[in-house]
Structure 1
Amino acid sequence: MTVVELDRVSRWNVYRRLQELNMVCECGGDRPLTVAINTPADALLVWSVVQAVTLPKPALTDHLKRCWQQRSLR
């Protein structure tokens, strides 16, 4: 299990989302969030959820705009 260090609110939001995505994870009380990362896809999924929960909304919006711009250039 991999420990993911987050503040209390973010930890529970990430935990809940990872459970929705059927990731094996544990989180309780004042203990850190632990996640079973078995594949590169699992690692990417955890990274993506943490980014979505912890980054400011303008940063997420800017990222999406850049993705759309790159896609339209193809």
Structure 2
Amino acid sequence: MNLDPASSGFLFTIKGCDRWQVYRRLCELEISCSCAAHQPLIVHIESTIALVQLWSVMRQAIIPRQVLVDWLEDCWKCRF
């Protein structure tokens, strides 16, 4: 992840299919972003909430599913 000072956006270099998945989800969340073919995903963060949503979407796309399942199970164990 890099901050692009010219556009005040974050640049993300992630796999093609993951990039489009993240792009679509960010659009659903109404977070300003752009993604052209063979180009990095550019995300413009305008609030703290948008930053947390971006973190969550990126985490779901990048971290292996089993790691997320284990993390969720650990959360449930701590709760009860």
The number of residue pairs the alignment matches comes to 72
Cα deviation, residue 49, structure 1: 0.4
Q: Which has the higher strand share?
A: 2
Which ranges in structure 1 are unaligned for 5 or more consecutive residues? none
Q: For 2:36, which of 28, 32, 36 is the aligned residue? A: 28
Runs of 4+ in structure 1 off by over 4 angstroms are none
How far the C-alpha of 1:70 sits from its partner, in A, is 2.3
Note the alpha carbon deviations across 1:5-33, whole angstroms, 9 max, x for none.
21111111100111111111100111110
Residues in 2 aligned to 1:67 and 1:23: alpha-carbon distance in whole angstroms: 28
Gaps of 5+ in 2: 1-8
More helix by share: 1
SS in 2 for 1:50: helix
Percent of aligned pairs with the same amino acid: 35
Identify the residue that residue 47 of structure 1 maps to in structure 2.
Answer: 55
